[in-house]
Amino acid sequence: MKVALTETGKLVKAATAIAKGRYYCPQCHRPLRLCAGRYRNKYFAHVAENKPKLGSEESRRHKIGKTRLRDYFMKLGLAVQTEYYFPSIKRRGDVVVRAHGEIYVIEYQCSPITVSEISQRTYDYQQVSKHVYWIAGPQHCKEKGLLATMQKFGRYATRYGWWFLAWDALADNTPWLFYQVYRQLFGKITYLKQPLLVNDSKISIR
C-alpha cells in the first residue's frame, strides 16, 4: 500500500512517511505499519492481518459504543443490528435501526477519517437509506479541532443550525448534540451542547 492516513486524517505517501508516525488504512481505518526492505521501496502494511491491536482504546471504545447503541434502541422496541452488511453497496453499517418501515444507518467514528471518505461512505449508505447519521468519537472533539470536526461531520437543520453528534462511549451515558455551531470573526468556535434524546416516534434532527 503506497498511501495511508495520519492521526490528523491527512493522506501521506509511504515514500515520504516517517518511521515513528502512526498510520491508518484509508479504506478500513485500521492500523498500518511502515515497511521498507533492502530491495523494495517503502510501503504500508496492515497490522496483525488487518485486525485492530488487542487492547486498543479506540477499538474498545468503538466496540462498546456499538453495543450500547444497539441496547439503547432495543429498549425502545426497535429492530437493530450491529455490523449489518448491505450487499448492494458492499458496506457494513456500525448500527442499523429499522423503525416505521424505514432504515437508519448510524456510524460511530473513533478512528481518523478524511472528509472525502465520509462523503463517499455517506453517499453509499444513502443508496439503501434516507437516514445516515455519524457520531464523532472523542479524538475528533478536541477544542482546537472543532472546526475540522464541523467540516467532516456537520449538518444543517432549521431548528439547530449547524450541528453534529459526538460521544465518548467509555465516559458518557449518551451521545451529545453540538448545535448552533459558529465560527467567530477571529476563528473561535462557539456552540451549544445537550444530551441526544431519541424516542420510538422520531429518530431525526430537522
**How do residues 82-94 score in pLDDT, each as one tens digit?**
999 999 999 999 9
Torsion sign, CA atoms 126, 68, 155, 79: positive
CA distances from 160 to 124, 165, 195, 206 (A): 26, 12, 14, 8
Residue 49 binned pLDDT confidence (cut-offs 50, 70, 90): very low
Return mean pLDDT, the chain.
85
β-bridge mates for residue 156, sequence order: 162
| Structure-model confidence comparison of residues 203 and 106, the more confident one | 106
Q: With H, G, I as helix, E, B as strand and everything else as coil, classify residue 65.
A: helix
Percent of residues in the chain assigned helix, strand, coil, to nearest 5? 25, 40, 40
Placement of cell 477499538 in the chain: 59
131-136 and 102-109 as β-strands: parallel, antiparallel, unpaired? parallel
Determine how β-strand 91-99 pairs with β-strand 11-13.
unpaired
Separation between Cα atoms, residue 128 and residue 86, nearest integer Å = 8
Separation CA 52–CA 185 (nearest Å): 41
100, 200 Cβ separation under 8 angstroms:
no
Question: Phi and psi for 159 in degrees, rounded to 5?
Answer: -75, -40
Task: State how far the Cα of 76 lies from the Cα of 150, in Å rounded to an integer.
Answer: 29
- Average of per-residue pLDDT across 42-68: 74
The amino acid occupying position 202 is: K
Place of cell 453495543: 67
pTM of the model: 0.68
Contact, 169 vs 64, CB < 8 A? yes
Q: For 89-130, write each residue's pLDDT tens digit.
A: 999 999 999 998 999 999 999 988 888 899 999 999 999 999
Average pLDDT over residues 135-143: 87
Q: What are phi and psi of 90, to 5 degrees?
A: 55, 45
